[in-house]
Structure 1
């Protein structure tokens, strides 16, 4: 029995060894076939490669939506429509400035300490020294959402904020400021609804300045809510109305938020390799409607006002361009230079007397090198006040001259310096001036 058992075990071992040898042989055969395939692929002619690549799907990084690269497979706005792109941008800007006023002193915390405000130039005071200010509150960020439908319709929205709000902390320690809304609008094809630059304004003609605005004395500069329609070079809008009034006999300008008729604007522009040129028109209904008080009678009146503007940018070769604007009209001061004076004066009988005026600027830009450029600009506006209504302290004219230089060692990084001189004259003949040296650094993203 023991011999029979030993003989059975020996047969089983022989069978296992035979099966193992068969598997090893099969693996060797498959390996030889795989190596032969690899050699054949390496030996294939190069002409076959493009045909294979052409039949393969494009990688996700090269796909586009509405002409823009798709940088991710899943949208950053998961609740958005299909074919939606998302963008973020802005810049960090720091300003350092020394300001000298010759006929009075700018108040602590005045807006004119952070940017040039022509109406705040002191007049008729004593000469003062120099004030130094520094801040980063003009830094900003923005968000954009754009959609292109399968049918070719375009829609989207845009938000932009900066930090030029009221101070939330003192300069002693925190220097914090509130976030402020600059732009907030939605668009659908040629329609736009929300807050952005006034349609009366030519943004493309604005020169480059270290100051927040630049040619403030003569430039149209307004952001407000509106409903706008654009078709090619033509655009028309209805915009938020607001009337500014100089009290009878003079004094600080007051605002009237009355009226049922919006400001109406229309613009037509042309552009090409030579530059751009635009013509705009503005029609307004100035209105006051106030109940009587214990010291003043009831006020109720309205009048029509309007203005026209022309301006643009002229490319003078590869290294120079000229930017300009001229605005003429009546009752349009709110749109010029952060409200240099009132749109109207208040007569003794409580009626509105619109103020005629003219405003404009010219700016020359020269590229010294690919990284170094300079701008020189002059701006002015003047107003025909009815002194009986406005008093002798109403602003008659403002003007400024400035020159700057910018150095961009890398794309999106700007280092600039600017010297400006501004002057304000009132109806009595008194005047005041302001001189400012300002440095800035700005990194855009």
Structure 2
């Protein structure tokens, strides 16, 4: 492990120890505003927000419409390698990205969404359309995030998060991507969901997020309470590469626990073959016609400090059996650490800061490259 990671892990240990002590001094009956906000955001992202009763921002005929989103400005400084608008470890180590220090800013993460609800003869039909400005090539172009129709409580049809992704246990970061070692994709799909109190089952037929002639099949089972949550998900499909179909399969395990007021520990683990395109690190699905096995994991600790502050640290890692070539280097290991703090100025306005360390190895030379990023952001929700 390199010196930068030793330094940050030491800071992490001090942070956990300090915030844990503060938590024990808090009133155990206090409900964290940030916890409530996080739960609402998770519900919206997962497409499980309760159906509107007609009290939306406005109505068109028999359809109520809600508008939501946020404006976000990010300012960042890379120490050794430029990574772009996101903290992207695949850029670390590339000679073309080397720098003695590089400042950047963006507002491209800002997003706009619409939710609709209509009572029909077959029950409630709801819709969701969400856009952001994260166009390709660093441009501020409108990009589709979500476009789906939900029939009652069970059926979702359209583009949404892949059912393979552990959305409820996804670590919180200031920068756009989050840690490596976790699945991340939005794909067109047909998904069926059914719940029994705290237990939820879901299954989907999805478009693969990389080249494939076949559908991808997923299923997941989750258990959620106020103190504990756990989820297991599986995936099976094929990836087309080099003129041939490669089997793609894997599973994800994730869980979270809230051991005291305002505290949160959570973890995810993913393992399988040809899963690289689904992960943040985006390693090759196959190399030389052979499926590239990969495993990854994330760990996160978060703590509320009073009603307005929230601090956390997240660690992620990906390990590939076969090296992925990007630019001039080929890697089989990626690591990231995010240390961040959020301050709620008002219910809708948040200031945040983050310190990031990313590492990427070069298989050919055995060298390991690292780079730090300091990021500040202002976000206004609506």
Q: TM-score, with normalisation over the residues of structure 1?
A: 0.69
Counterpart of 1:374?
311
- Structure with the larger RCO, 1 or 2 (CA within 8 Å, 6+ apart): 2
Pairing of 1:341-380 with structure 2 (within 5 A): 341-346=283-288, 352-380=289-317
Cα distance, 1:125 vs. partner? 7.6
Counterpart of 1:204?
168
Is the 2:362–2:368 Cα contact (8 Å) retained in structure 1?
yes
Q: What is the alpha-carbon distance in structure 2 between the residues aligned to residue 320 and residue 374 of structure 1?
A: 10
Counterpart of 2:132?
162
Cα distance, 1:126 vs. partner? 9.4
Once the two structures are superposed, residues 260-310 of structure 1 have per-residue CA deviations (whole angstroms, 9 ceiling, x without a partner) of x2111111111011132110001121223xxxxxxxxxx532232211111
Greater fraction of residues in strand: 2
Q: What is the alpha-carbon distance in structure 1 between the residues aligned to residue 314 and residue 246 of structure 2?
A: 35
The structure with the larger Rg is: 1
Cα distance, 1:68 vs. partner? 3.6
Q: Measured at CA, do residues 68 and 154 of structure 1 come closer, stay the same or move farther in structure 2, by a change above 3 Å?
A: closer
Q: Measured at CA, do residues 69 and 305 of structure 1 come closer, stay the same or move farther in structure 2, by a change above 3 Å?
A: closer
Cα distance, 1:325 vs. partner? 0.4
Q: What is the alpha-carbon distance in structure 2 between the residues aligned to residue 386 and residue 418 of structure 1?
A: 30
Once the two structures are superposed, residues 332-361 of structure 1 have per-residue CA deviations (whole angstroms, 9 ceiling, x without a partner) of 01111051x101012xxxxx2001111010
Cα distance, 1:329 vs. partner? 1.0
Is the 2:191–2:203 Cα contact (8 Å) retained in structure 1?
yes
2:277 is paired with a residue of what secondary structure?
Answer: helix
Is the 1:385–1:394 Cα contact (8 Å) retained in structure 2?
no
Which residue, 255, 259, 272 being the options, matches 1:329? 272
1:178 is paired with a residue of what secondary structure?
Answer: strand
Which residue, 259, 268, 277 being the options, matches 2:221? 268
Which residue, 180, 189, 202 being the options, matches 1:235? 202
Q: What is the alpha-carbon distance in structure 2 between the residues aligned to residue 395 and residue 264 of structure 1?
A: 29
Counterpart of 1:295?
none
Q: Measured at CA, do residues 338 and 225 of structure 1 come closer, stay the same or move farther in structure 2, by a change above 3 Å?
A: farther
Gap runs ≥5 in structure 1 = 1-64, 107-111, 169-175, 244-256, 289-298, 347-351
Counterpart of 2:184?
221
Is the 1:118–1:337 Cα contact (8 Å) retained in structure 2?
no
Q: What is the alpha-carbon distance in structure 2 between the residues aligned to residue 164 and residue 431 of structure 1?
A: 30
Counterpart of 2:159?
195
After the TM superposition, which parts of structure 1 deviate over 3 Å for at least 4 consecutive aligned residues? 65-72, 123-127, 148-151
Q: What is the alpha-carbon distance in structure 2 between the residues aligned to residue 100 and residue 421 of structure 1?
A: 10
Once the two structures are superposed, residues 352-389 of structure 1 have per-residue CA deviations (whole angstroms, 9 ceiling, x without a partner) of 200111101001001111101101111111111179x9
Is the 1:124–1:430 Cα contact (8 Å) retained in structure 2?
no
Q: Measured at CA, do residues 227 and 371 of structure 1 come closer, stay the same or move farther in structure 2, by a change above 3 Å?
A: same
Is the 2:265–2:300 Cα contact (8 Å) retained in structure 1?
yes
Q: Measured at CA, do residues 167 and 327 of structure 1 come closer, stay the same or move farther in structure 2, by a change above 3 Å?
A: closer
Counterpart of 1:304?
247
Counterpart of 1:121?
92
Cα distance, 1:202 vs. partner? 1.5
Gap runs ≥5 in structure 2 = 1-49
Cα distance, 1:124 vs. partner? 6.5
Cα distance, 1:393 vs. partner? 4.0
